[in-house]
Structure formats: C-alpha cells, structure tokens
A and B are shown apart, each in its own frame.
Chain A
C-alpha cells in the first residue's frame, strides 16, 4: 500500500533557527515525491519536487531511498515560512495521482 507519514502535526521554531519537517513513505516502486505548501488564506501550491533537486525559498529536500524519507529542511527559518506543509507521493503510472500525508503546521515565532 502507498502511504505518506508526516509524524509531526505541529512544529514550532524561532526565527533564524533551522527547521526540518519529516516525511516518510511506504511504496514498493520508485516514487516521485513532492512538498506542497499552503499559506494562510492561499491555495495549496507546489513547493518542490525531488526530481528537480531545487532549492525553493531556501528549502531543500533529499530523497533517501534507504530510509524511505523525504525530509524538508531550511537552515534559517523566517516568519513567512509559517504555513501548512504536505508531503506527497506520486506512484508510477500515467495518471499523476498523488497520495498526501496529513500535513505539518509550521509556526515560526519572532
């Protein structure tokens, strides 16, 4: 079965501190993994995907197939990073369906 686990419902850090949002997945094939973000009163939007190996807004995420993890990291959190973050897995196949985790609410305190 395909499953995405985000163990932390809530995460609170201070501005300037490092932040790591955890994501673990369960999938027998080679998945594509993504992080989506929803800022207050805004739509869900794509933050980054593992295949592009980008850094967006200072965030990076590395796919660790051995640990089946795709943790999202930022070395210095900013107040504007406060949002809901969802990890998502795209199974192999042609429909581009996504399986989402339950989300982590990140709060960056001043």
Chain B
C-alpha cells in the first residue's frame, strides 16, 4: 500500500526553468493538497482539489499551476522558477467522505532554485 507518492525527492532548478512535481495516491481519496514549507515556517496551502476536474487556489498560489485529470494524480507545475520558490513541497490527500481520519502525506520534494 504505497499511500501518497511524490517525485522527485530533490531537485535543483535554475531561475526561469520549469518543472512538474508529481503526486500520486492509491487510496481513492477525493481530496488532494499541495503545501509548501519554508524554513521556520508552517505549511502553507498552494492549491487543493476536491475531485477530478476540480481545483482551487490556496493561500500562496502565485507561480504555480495544478491539474486533476484523474482521482489518483495531482501534479504541481512551476513555471519560470524563482528563488522564492525554494522550499519543501508536500502533497497530501484525504478521503473527503466523512469520518475523517486526517491527511496522508507524501515524503516531500526539496526544491532549490538557484
């Protein structure tokens, strides 16, 4: 049972480059989320999705895009990477069907933009 899988684990980008952070869950969860965690700060919500085809902005969406074409996948796209996007990115999912048991988190992607 893999849970939430994030790839890659580490990445160094140059300013202006683009990349996609992958997130896949195999628990048939309806809800998925992307958070970023800066040093000494809490997790801040970037984007979230309550089902395939439905996405919405979180607290810090600028510079990012998402899509949710399937229940399993929720990729996060960075266009024109900037040093301010240096962070650890976490993907999470939850069932969204009541009897909520909390988030299942991925292991994180550490991104450095130089």
Residues of A near any B CB (own CB < 8 A): 4, 6, 9, 34, 36, 43-46, 49, 86, 94-103
Contacts and interface: CB of A to CB of B under 8 A. Distances in A.
B105 A95 contact: no
Given A43-B106, A44-B90, A45-B105, A96 B31 contact: yes
Given A86-B43, A103-B42, A97 B102 contact: no
Interface of B: 31, 33, 35, 40-45, 48, 50, 56, 58, 90, 92, 94, 96, 100-103, 105-108
Contact of B107 (A4, A43, A94): A43
B43 A46 contact: no
27 contacts: A6-B42, A36-B102, A43-B105, A43-B106, A44-B90, A44-B92, A44-B105, A45-B102, A46-B101, A46-B102, A46-B103, A86-B42, A94-B96, A95-B50, A96-B31, A96-B96, A97-B33, A97-B45, A97-B58, A98-B33, A98-B45, A100-B42, A100-B44, A101-B42, A102-B41, A102-B42, A103-B42
A45 B50 CA distance: 20
A98 B56 contact: no
Nearest to B100: A96
A19 B101 CA distance: 25
A101 B103 CA distance: 16
Nearest to B107: A43
B13 to A, nearest CB: 23
A95 B54 CA distance: 11
Contacts of B31: 95-96
Nearest to B35: A100
Contact of A34 (B33, B44, B102): B102
Nearest to B94: A96
Contacts of B108: 43
